A and B are shown apart, each in its own frame.
Chain A
Amino acid sequence: MDFRSYVRQHLPAVKVVREEEIVEELAQHLEDLYHDGVGSGLDHDTAWARATAALPNAAEELAGALRASSRSPASRAADTLRAHLDEPPRRFGGSMLTGFRRDLRYAFRTMLREPGFTAVVVITLALGIGGTAAMYSAIDAILLRRPPVADPDRVVNAYMLYPARVTANPAAGDQVGSASYPDYADLRDSNIFDGLAAFTSILLTLDTNGTPEQIVGQVVSGNFFDVLGVPAVVGRTLKPEDDRLGSPVRVAVLSYGTWQRRLGGDPNVVGRSLSLNGNLYNVIGVARRGFGGPDVDDVAEVWVPMALQPEVRPPSAGALRQRFPDLRLLHARDVRWLSMVGRLKEGVSAADAAAALDVVGRRLQTAYPDSNRDISATVMRLGDGPGLRSNTRPLLRLLGVAVTLVLLIACANVASLLLARAVTRRREVAVRIAIGAGRGQLVSQWLTEAIVLGLIGSAAALVVAYWGIPILYGFGIPEGMDLSLNRRVLAFTFVTGATAGLVFGLAPVVQLIRSEAVTALRDEGGTVASGVRATRARSVFVVVQVALSLVLLVGAGLFLRTLQQAYAIDLGYNIDRMLLATIEPGDRYQPPAAQAFYADVLDRVNALPGVVAAGAARVTVLSGASRTGAVSIDGRPVQRDRSNAIPARVNVVSDKYLDAMGIPIVIGRNFQRTDLPAATRVAIVSRSLANRLWPNADPIGKTLESSTPLVVVGVVPDTVYRRTTDRQVLPVYYLPLSQNYEAAVGLHVRTVGDPMAVLPAVRRAISDVDPRIALVRPRRLEDEFSRSLIAERTMVKFVGGLSGIALLLAAVGLYGVMAYATRQRTTEIGVRLALGASPVSILQMIVLRGLRLVAVGGVLGLACAVVAVRFVRNLLFGVEATDPATWIAVSTAMMLVGVLACAVPARRAMRIDPVRALRNF
């Protein structure tokens, strides 16, 4: 009868520090039980059975508990914390999971019990998280996603570098640009890189079974895929051997998407032929999935070798075409059309490579002074050069901050709601604590509830994001870019939701920990005190909400004013009733014949019924396109370093263009039919250019020194040229089409009625002259105008939407606090009314109290906004960031919303029946 060995037998491998002692202690206990049994007259067997009855059944549990009671220092620390929270420590695995499951079940039950509350929280979160998720999808796609190339940190873009002083616009700093093929070849052979590849995007006509379709491709040097480290999933990628000048082979590598979409993922795709631009190409392989080119917004479907350039990327019609009758550009050092991407050598930094390239660039300057004067070369990290990434980075950051603000407001709102509910749940809490729930259990319970709410909010947020993402394309994100809700966005959304849940879930928990739970069991006395504290916390949330939404509102107001200003701007011409279309005779005619063609077409169109005037121009205003030239300011020819020149916009126009546009001639004359190539070369200048060059003299007859000397025959008012919201408006001069041949022009037709109504007649007029020449891309100038403002409109839509949500949430938050506070003071208000206070004074009291919160938040918000608007200054147009009208309007709107949010509970307070209120006293 050895109790010690009995205990040891039935206690499965406890392995704890004090095992010996514990066994001894338990054995003594059993022995005492046994002796008591024998002492009270039981026989040996019964006493033994009674003493040991408990152990076998509970052995497992006991062992677990014992194990748990002597654990590592870390878990001891956790135990201490739990002990502090007055909760029995959780045991291993199974029971912890059980606890979690119980919390989860309870959370869902609570939510279902209060569907209204749950819905408000979920909608609030959906709005807050949804905006963040949509924004993240864009930020992820554009800024975060790494190019699908091997070891992307070593991949850089190389550019030709133009020092600021030789650019058309020196104020904008050094410019980088494309390279010519000979430049590229020299840089490649300089041995600075592990490899340097050249490429450019092209449009190709893919003919599948008789249906031609334009697809985006890239013409690339033979080492392109090797430099980027992009493997083939099927077949092989291009090799330098495929790119031999002289004997090019027509081979093509397909993108994974194209292979799947257009060829149905044909496993025998290698060796198939593909008709591109009317020639048959041999498919040699399919590139790695997700690869569309080195830049994030590259969506090439097919890659062809550089040696095929004359076929796939001939010089555009016009002067270049005249210069290169064989269409070959690869030997022209002064024709720069190639992007370059290189792989840095191991251990070489981008700065080292840039310095080395600069040396090579300078050597080329000396070797080829005609083509490379002043031009050097440099490198930039992928995405840092000109392109989508650098264009959109500031904007995305800004919008990222904006959506985060909305998320914070939403969190503050939910936290406030949870606080309010926590107060109403005090009884439940007190009872649960009293019957043995530890505070730790309650904390884990509430946090579980909050996180579950956050996750449900995230799920709803996906709907908001799905609906919001298309708006983002308006910020200039290319259509081809995939901003879908991919796995990363999903992960981000749910992590955000859970984090948000943790954040707003902490508010009531902090409250709980700080409060003396037991007092809540008593009646009102307890709840009033803690209710006041909760109200104070919620008031802080309201102040924060008001401040944050005011920042957003100021932004939205400024963007709205920008849009307003843009619509109100005097462009200098009329945009209504104007048909635009392109005609491109290209190389079908020699210049004199093409000039005759243009004149014939314009005459016929001008004679059409319903046409007021028709002209042609190289550049269509507001399309974003522009041609910039340097104009001498001292009467001497433009110096090579452009030290005596200023930048100016140029347009080549027909004689009726200015009439059609409604641009009046202020002094002098319009272009005439007699301004022929043999006659004096003439120009019309804008007033600002005339004032700059000849401030106090009659400009007519003066010589304008551009690339060639031009005689000024007329002056026109300044007009908006490139984009409606051009911040830097340059002077403009016009050249006559009759003296300056263009292989393609934009037709500008001013009509009496709807411009589209004359389109068929215009088409006929052209095909009467030459049926081979088509009218391309017919559209209204008004459309061009709206398109030029798409970024501004999107900004208003997006920031306006966000600030609207923010304002709504702030109003709801304020309403909640005021309604709650009013309810708590029902008795007090009853007493006041009974003592003769007028209902209006009650209304005043409550509204003023609410407005005090709004005012504090407002001042805080305005202070933040003063800092914040500095970041949007260069997105504004025609309005100062400190525009007083906007600021006053926004603050007033906030106050009004505040009054509204307080008015509802205040009215309720006014109607309080003193008798009933006092009865509950």
Chain B
Amino acid sequence: MVLAAIERRARHGYEIAKLIDDRSGGVLRFHVASLYPMLYRMERRGWIDGKWIEKAGQRKRRYYRLTAAGRKVLAHQRSTWRELLSALQQVAGLETGR
């Protein structure tokens, strides 16, 4: 989810949290305590890259960008999720027509 949030462009931490919050309609909410450790971890694994960037009219903020490795992981996880979801749907009978 975090990876997906920064797929298009680099975002800073608060932006990521807000985006996930918005996209999931408030169901999924990240706290400071869980978001940042996760970001640092992913950064250490080389999935994302964080940089302090000063934008016009704003404070200096740390922006996270998806790396090539992160892109691969994201693709892989997407397929995993897709398969799991479709499996769950079949098992739970969520899909109509069967």
Contacts and interface: CB of A to CB of B under 8 A. Distances in A.
Tell me, yes or no, whether A binds B.
yes
Interface of A: 21-22, 25-26, 28-30, 32-33, 36, 54-55, 57-59, 61-62, 65-66, 68-70, 76, 79-80, 83, 88-89, 433-435, 518, 521-522
Interface in B42-88: 44-45, 52, 59, 61-62, 79-81, 83-84, 87
A55 B83 contact: no
Interface string B6-37: 00000011100110000000000001111111
Given A28-B13, A55-B32, 5 more contacts: A21-B52, A25-B36, A25-B62, A26-B32, A54-B32
B83 A518 contact: yes
Nearest to A35: B14
Contact of A58 (B13, B32, B62, B80): B32
A69 B84 contact: no
B43 to A, nearest CB: 8
Contacts of A33: 14
A55 B33 CA distance: 7
B83 A521 contact: yes
Given A25-B62, A58-B33, A521-B84, A88 B41 contact: yes
A79 B44 contact: yes
Nearest to B15: A32
A54 B31 contact: yes
The B interface is mostly helix, strand or loop, or mixed, namely helix
Contacts of B80: 433-434, 518
B40 A69 contact: yes
Given A21-B62, A29-B17, A521-B84, A62 B44 contact: no
A38 to B, nearest CB: 15
A80 B69 CA distance: 13
Given A21-B62, A25-B13, A62 B83 contact: no
8 contacts: A25-B36, A26-B32, A32-B14, A62-B36, A68-B37, A69-B41, A88-B41, A522-B83
Contacts of A76: 44
A3 to B, nearest CB: 11
Nearest to B82: A518
B65 to A, nearest CB: 15
A57 B41 CA distance: 21
Contacts of A57: 33
Contacts, number: 76
Contacts of B36: 22, 25-26, 29, 62, 65-66
A69 B34 contact: no
Nearest to B16: A29
A83 B32 contact: no
The A interface is mostly helix, strand or loop, or mixed, namely helix
B33 A28 contact: no
In the A-B complex, the 3 residue pairs with the smallest Cβ-Cβ separation, listed nearest first, are A58-B33, A65-B37, A54-B31
A58 B84 contact: no
B13 A62 contact: no
Interface centre among A26, A69, A88, A89 (most CB of B within 10 A): A69
Nearest to B43: A69
A435 B84 CA distance: 8
B13 A29 contact: yes
A48 B18 CA distance: 17
Nearest to B79: A518
B2 to A, nearest CB: 13
B41 A29 contact: no
Contacts of A21: 52, 62
Nearest to A30: B32
A29 B14 contact: yes
A86 B18 CA distance: 26
Interface residues of B, number: 26
Nearest to A517: B80
A58 B79 contact: no
Nearest to A79: B44
A29 B79 contact: no
Nearest to A22: B36
B84 A28 contact: no
Contacts of A435: 84
B42 to A, nearest CB: 9
A25 B36 CA distance: 9
B44 A83 contact: yes
Contacts of A55: 32-33
A743 B75 CA distance: 98
A70 B36 CA distance: 13
Contact of A62 (B14, B37, B59, B84): B37
Contacts of A62: 32-33, 36-37
B55 to A, nearest CB: 13
A58 B52 contact: no
A61 B35 CA distance: 12
Interface string B86-98: 0100000000000
Contacts of A65: 36-37, 40-41
Contact of B87 (A29, A83, A521): A521
A54 B32 CA distance: 7
A518 B77 CA distance: 10
Nearest to B73: A86
B83 A69 contact: no
A500 to B, nearest CB: 34
Contacts of A433: 80
Nearest to B13: A29
Contacts of A69: 37, 40-41, 44
Contacts of B44: 69, 76, 79, 83
A518 B81 CA distance: 10
Contacts of B37: 61-62, 65-66, 68-69
Contacts of B40: 22, 65-66, 69-70
Contact of A434 (B13, B32, B59, B83): B83
A856 to B, nearest CB: 39
A706 B17 CA distance: 108
Contacts of B34: 58
A61 B34 CA distance: 9
A28 B32 contact: no
A54 B62 contact: no
Contacts of A28: 12-14, 59, 61
A115 to B, nearest CB: 29
A406 B30 CA distance: 56
Nearest to B76: A518
Contacts of B32: 26, 29-30, 54-55, 58, 62
A335 to B, nearest CB: 82
Nearest to A522: B83
Nearest to A54: B31
B69 to A, nearest CB: 10
Nearest to A431: B84
A375 to B, nearest CB: 77
A408 B22 CA distance: 59
Contacts of B35: 29
Nearest to A27: B32
A89 B41 contact: yes
A61 B80 CA distance: 29
B64 to A, nearest CB: 10
Interface centre among B12, B17, B80 (most CB of A within 10 A): B80
A16 to B, nearest CB: 9
Contacts of B18: 36
Contacts of A29: 13-14, 17, 32, 35-36
A518 B76 CA distance: 10
A26 B36 CA distance: 8
Given A25-B62, A55-B32, A69-B40, A80 B45 contact: yes
Interface centre among A61, A89, A434 (most CB of B within 10 A): A434
A58 B33 CA distance: 6
A521 B37 CA distance: 31
A28 B34 CA distance: 16
A228 B34 CA distance: 67
Given A55-B33, A434-B80, A83 B45 contact: yes
A59 B33 contact: yes
A32 to B, nearest CB: 4
A450 B13 CA distance: 42
